[in-house]
Structure 1
Amino acid sequence: MSEQTGTSASGRAAGPRCVAIVGPHGSGKTTLLEAILERTGAIPKAGNVAAGSSVGDRSKEARAHGMGIDLNAADAEFLGDRYTFLDCPGFVEFAFEMQPVLAVADVAVVVCEADEKKIPALQLVLRQLEVAGVPHMLFVNKIDKADATLRDTLKLMQSASTMPLVLRQIPIWKEGAAIGTIELALERALVYREHAESQEVPIPSDHQADELAARYEMLERLADYDDELMEELLSDVAPDRSQIFQDLRKEMRSGQITPVFIGSAERGNGITRLLKALRHDAAGIEETRARLGLAAGAETIVQVAKTVQTSHAGKLSIVRVLSGKLTDGLALTAADGRVGRVSGLYALGTGTPAKMSDAGAGAVVGIGKVDPAETGSTLSSGKAPPKELAPLAPPSPVISMVVAPKEAKDDVKLSTALSRLAEEDPSLVVVQDADTAETRIEGQGEMHLRVQLERLQNRFGVAVVTRDPIIPYRETIKSSTTVRGRHKKQSGGHGQFGDCVLTIEPQERGKGFAFAEVVTGGAVPKNFFPAIEEGVVDSLKRGALGFPLVDVKVTLSDGSFHPVDSSDMAFKTAAGIGMREGLPQCSPVLLEPILKVKFYGPSEFTARINQIVTGRRGQLLGFDGREGWQGWDVTEALIPQAEMGMLIVELRSATAGVGTFEAAFDHLQEITGPVAQKVVDKRKGELAAA
């Protein structure tokens, strides 16, 4: 059934709305979703995440780890308005799930708690919201367990936000515990009741002064963007309540303020107040379209928030209808011109999706088996391919792992499964390395990759073996030599004869390989030159130390041939013999790849990052403030690739779980001594065992 959209006379958005639930790991997002679903009657009783009975986090992998690793989607209705709640994982390794969701959300509820240790993680979340321009409100959860005053908590959180945090409520304290709230805009007191709506009571006499002060602070914040309200405050004129609500709504939607609510999701406290704020203050599909730069039109345009590949039901995509009407069987075109037809349209509900016939603008639904639908993509019913409204920018991988099927017969199956997982999760990178014949998966952390391996087994029935990637060591030479490579073989009929004189010499680092000929007098006919070069190139695949050779020049200066027995193969073999004999005479040295690494983390942890660098044979290049990030630094360093293993684990441990890095190849560097000897000995053992 299609929905009406627009704005009511009171400024309240009409039509279905989409709410993103975001926040740091462990803050209680999924518990809040359960409380909302219970309060709205979508489910009879809130489930428990730890007990595995919640609507959200119901995948086998999420249950196993007791944490959010997927997007949770659920529908609910409150006072006649329809909502879809999209609960995003908070753990930093799965934080990318939030990015495509923000493109479809009208508003975000940021679930947080009064914990100083989680402020850096909160800043990561708020930063994404601010960059995406998504209006948001804070829900300070676990207020029943808070041991700090709300003012102290707000001060901590303000350091994580570039927008003013504006208290909409203050707690009613009794014997050190929060037993209710005072609504500053309404000037009402509410006492909490377990898993039920709060009960209105008179404002306690011992809280009246606090309420007046907090309310005035709220009005002052609003007056920063409303000259009329500022004049009323300066003139001691009591502002009209409707004006206050209008300012709260307008300033949140425009990204000028972030309202703050409090409660306890576990106890069901503060839920109704939060829902009413969403009902009155959250923007609707019209504002979201404007934020994405999309004008309403006759065409059906949908934005994909998540695509899931299932082992039995196939592909299901969660999409927001931005304009037009979506119907089952409708053909949709992607930005790259691919066309797919909707094969099943589903209301998300709170459990098994239910089939539906159509969905109007603002609705969030599931669509089945649309091949061009990918996480973050834009699809249109128009003839021309649509413009991507919110192109994704996946973070750089910070960890990698080689995967291979346990059974050779699963090789193709593994390739297909990895492709589907990467389509579902763009922060997972699959690399087919031709040089090392490795298949690698690269991602956002140890847990991120572990979950992908579990999905391979659980969804696709592919068991794999894993190992660390090969470090691409190289070798080069430091001195020159001239050798003769001679191949002669007689075995009846035509024999084999090739004879060449080669000068092997080092080149400047980074120059690569060069081959030259200075043969005079026809000692070696020109038609054999390519075969000799081919033999030389083949020999560079494994030098004297066992590694590929770089930065070498080889010059053919002399040789001899037989008019009958000489051939391309004979000269290729002769060149290989000459190289194998000559390279050990050229002072071979080992080279290791050095990466340029940029670390990002809060300034208070920069000293720890420096220690990590030096502890991994790294060279610090310097640090500076991270542009646009208050209280964050960027540290640059050079680190051997061999020292990058599990770096992200150590970094996250040292930076309250929020540090990350970007790494790229910089140069090859000579290594000697015990480190080099250990690498060479290991390589010799591998070659002997092969």
Structure 2
Amino acid sequence: MANPANGAQQNGRVSGAPRCAALVGPYLSGKTTLMESLLYATGAIPRKGNAKDGSMVSDSAPEAKARRMSVEVTAAATEYLGEKWCFLDCPGSVELAQETRNALLAADVAIVVAEPLVDKALMLAPIFKFLDDHQIPHILFINKMDVASHRVREMLDALQAVSSRPLVLRQVPIRESGKQGDEVTGYVDLVSERAYKYHPGQESDLVKMPEEMLPREQEARNKLLETLADFDDHLMEEILSDAIPPKEEVYQQLAKDLAADLIVPVLLGEAERDGGVRRLLKALRHEVPGPEALAARLGISPHDAATLVFKTYHQPHAGKLSLARILGGRVQEGAVLNGIRVAGVLKPKGNGFDKVPQAEIGEVVALARMEEAKTGDLLTASGRGAGDFAWPKPLEPLFSLAIDAENRADEVKLTAALAKLCEEDPSLRFTNDADTHELLLAGQGEIHLAIAFDRLKGRFGLPMKHRRPQIAYKETIRQGTKQHSRFKRQSGGHGQFADIHIEIWPLARGTGFEFHDRVVGGAVPRQFIGSVEEGAREALQRGPLGFTVVDVAVALFDGQYHSVDSSDMAFKTVARQAMQEALPQCNPVLLEPIFAVEVSAPAEFTARVHNLVTGRRGQILNFQAKEDWSGWEVVEALVPQSELHDMIIELRSLTLGIGNFACRFDHLQELSGRLADKVVSERQAAMPQRGAA
């Protein structure tokens, strides 16, 4: 290879500065296997583990071993040809996308791992969109080429449809006839025009290019050069004049365009057998920009000492660890960042950390016991931040469960444990519902919350019970009435006496509660009118159907009092009594919460989305192209809250896992018929009977 490293130097990378690559891709694409192969090829591990026995570096957590899948970002440092690297293996599950997004924002490059299946290309759309929105350089690694059933051209066409950046094929596969038909046994590099044969566990062997490959290689190489020429006038002139560009120039242009997120180089391989892995390492070495480019992309001044926290861990023995990328200066034990003392600096090694005295620009390290630091913080010695950096908002929860500690004595510890989990994963939220008085844990789906429950039990000793959350139904009235109520009690000494006349009538939806004082002539003294209002409000907490009553007006227009026996408590009590007697006469009706929902999915799934929404009693309002998402549509609808609980699960099953939605409360709507009767009967059975006033 003709000194391609010069291109990386011209792109502003400081020689020797450690770089960071994040491995991303859909579930089962082979990211963790590729991570294992990269670490093995660079000598970081003596042998490769496997998923069956849970011996892989990235899946050391109990939750990962139990599911045989990555559940959080795993960092591992290594060296390749004298240069330092840190690889971040990111979860593939769409429910754990927050982990992936956080890691990508701290990486110099993303390695997007894809299976060689045309019908799975759509699964990469959200990943490509996030990368391009944040201008993160990325390389596409088509894995599992040993079982590829489609031609590379077909795969590229399908993948190009979900990428806004041009895909630039760097290799063409060499196929040979085998026992199971054509097998991919190697590749031809389109820049060096050399052929290589895969050698499991070792570097690929340089072989003579098969003659039958020449036409296909030339066609693919010309296409590569034409794509690069779209971004460089000099290269375009060379191609138009039929001149052969020097290989050094091609390598430099690849590095320049990758750094600017103008192209997506495409490499082929089979990580299980180490095929193409060392070629990927060489491409990373020569073409990936360094931390200076990342700082510029994030809006961080290159002269500022800055450390970006992109992951938080709470470990049983080590305490809080803040996984961070150093983007300026150096960090050592005892340093003060944002006013917080660094208790220790640790180097990640996949399933653990090694303590080091200090770390330099570009390195990924864990900072110990920085209690006030959180994911997304930019730490500086001055504490004033650096440049125009802003961390994106976390993903909004889509699935929630009501939770209780199995042991009631653990409830005191539960809030602190949940706070730590949410600090580790900002896409988790916990709240106390003001209407149902339930503790809710919300996340991205069933798997996401199941992992959280496992961590609560295994790490904090807090086994949980969980159930579907209650719906905050309300009730209102359809007609008004007048009510006369008297409360009189004699128990020796001063008694209790209060007498009121009230009128009740319905209000417009969303108005709430109104109280009107229409007393004349002092029939009810001023000091007791507030008590009447307070008692009326309390009575609305549980109406005749068992739910909170809303959109009701109450007027006090007459009454009587006793100069000795009347009191605030007596008038408060008689007001509750009057409301309880009057509301059943006002034709009460159940109200259910209706949410405005926007469902996003590729246009080819829009019909399925329509059926999903209408099948859940939803009312479709509109559908239109999704802004800045090529080939995607948004379906706008009104859906009852009771139908939203597991909608994300069904939506994903209908859309290759990539469909999504956002929702917000819109209004309350009357619910009648069998469904309303069922809701009311379940409520009445669950609540204790009201005692006498």
Are positions 1:152 and 2:133 aligned together? no
Query: What does 1:575-614 correspond to in 2, within 5 Å?
Result: 575-614=575-614
> Which residue does 1:617 correspond to in 2?
617
Q: 1:12, CA displacement in angstroms? A: 6.0
Q: 1:296, CA displacement in angstroms? A: 2.2
> Which residue does 2:534 correspond to in 1?
534
Residue 311 (structure 2) aligned to one of 306, 311, 316: 306
Q: 1:390, CA displacement in angstroms? A: 3.8
Matching residue's letter, 2:257: E
Q: 1:388, CA displacement in angstroms? A: 7.3
Q: Please give the secondary structure, in 1, of the residue aligned with 2:77.
A: strand
CA displacement, residues 213-258 of structure 1 (integer Å, 9 cap, x when unaligned): 1111111111111111111111111111111111111111111111
CA contact (8 A) 1:326 1:358 kept: yes
Q: Please give the secondary structure, in 2, of the residue aligned with 1:315.
A: strand
C-alpha distance in 1 between matches for 2:689 and 2:522:
44
Query: What does 1:67-466 correspond to in 2, within 5 Å?
Result: 67-175=69-177, 176-297=182-303, 299-333=304-338, 339-385=339-385, 389-466=389-466
Q: Please give the secondary structure, in 2, of the residue aligned with 1:266.
A: helix
- Aligned positions, number: 679
- Alpha-carbon RMSD across the aligned residues, in angstroms, is 1.4
Q: Please give the secondary structure, in 1, of the residue aligned with 2:196.
A: strand
When residues 441 and 206 of structure 1 are mapped into structure 2, their CA distance, relative to the original with a 3 A threshold, is same
Which region of structure 1 is more displaced relative to structure 2, 504-513 or 427-436? 427-436
When residues 436 and 388 of structure 1 are mapped into structure 2, their CA distance, relative to the original with a 3 A threshold, is farther
Q: 1:432, CA displacement in angstroms? A: 1.7
When residues 387 and 455 of structure 1 are mapped into structure 2, their CA distance, relative to the original with a 3 A threshold, is farther
Matching residue's letter, 2:162: A
Q: Please give the secondary structure, in 2, of the residue aligned with 1:571.
A: helix
When residues 9 and 162 of structure 1 are mapped into structure 2, their CA distance, relative to the original with a 3 A threshold, is closer
Q: 1:409, CA displacement in angstroms? A: 1.0
Q: Please give the secondary structure, in 1, of the residue aligned with 2:59.
A: coil
C-alpha distance in 2 between matches for 1:10 and 1:622:
47
CA contact (8 A) 2:74 2:350 kept: no
Q: 1:634, CA displacement in angstroms? A: 0.4
CA contact (8 A) 1:485 1:579 kept: no
Task: Calculate the TM-score normalised by the size of structure 1.
Answer: 0.97
CA displacement, residues 317-340 of structure 1 (integer Å, 9 cap, x when unaligned): 11000101101111111xxxxx32
C-alpha distance in 1 between matches for 2:292 and 2:676:
63
Task: Calculate the TM-score normalised by the size of structure 2.
Answer: 0.96
Q: Please give the secondary structure, in 1, of the residue aligned with 2:420.
A: helix
C-alpha distance in 1 between matches for 2:228 and 2:414:
56
Matching residue's letter, 1:278: L
CA contact (8 A) 1:304 1:317 kept: yes
CA contact (8 A) 2:291 2:327 kept: yes
When residues 557 and 290 of structure 1 are mapped into structure 2, their CA distance, relative to the original with a 3 A threshold, is same
CA contact (8 A) 1:42 1:350 kept: no
Q: Please give the secondary structure, in 2, of the residue aligned with 1:70.
A: coil
CA contact (8 A) 2:299 2:387 kept: no
C-alpha distance in 2 between matches for 1:283 and 1:192:
28
Q: 1:666, CA displacement in angstroms? A: 0.5
C-alpha distance in 1 between matches for 2:22 and 2:330:
23
CA contact (8 A) 2:34 2:272 kept: yes
> Which residue does 2:517 correspond to in 1?
517
CA contact (8 A) 1:43 1:350 kept: no
CA contact (8 A) 1:378 1:388 kept: no
Q: 1:384, CA displacement in angstroms? A: 3.0
C-alpha distance in 2 between matches for 1:25 and 1:654:
16
Q: Please give the secondary structure, in 1, of the residue aligned with 2:340.
A: strand
> Which residue does 2:26 correspond to in 1?
24
CA displacement, residues 304-353 of structure 1 (integer Å, 9 cap, x when unaligned): 121011223211111000101101111111xxxxx321111111134431
When residues 10 and 549 of structure 1 are mapped into structure 2, their CA distance, relative to the original with a 3 A threshold, is closer
Structure 2 gap ranges (5+): 1-6
C-alpha distance in 2 between matches for 1:417 and 1:388:
33
Are positions 1:667 and 2:667 aligned together? yes
> Which residue does 2:61 correspond to in 1?
59
Q: Please give the secondary structure, in 2, of the residue aligned with 1:97.
A: helix
Q: Please give the secondary structure, in 2, of the residue aligned with 1:26.
A: coil
Percent of aligned pairs with the same amino acid: 46
CA contact (8 A) 1:12 1:280 kept: no
C-alpha distance in 2 between matches for 1:384 and 1:390:
13
Q: 1:592, CA displacement in angstroms? A: 0.5
CA contact (8 A) 1:507 1:553 kept: yes
CA contact (8 A) 1:483 1:501 kept: yes
C-alpha distance in 2 between matches for 1:688 and 1:568:
27
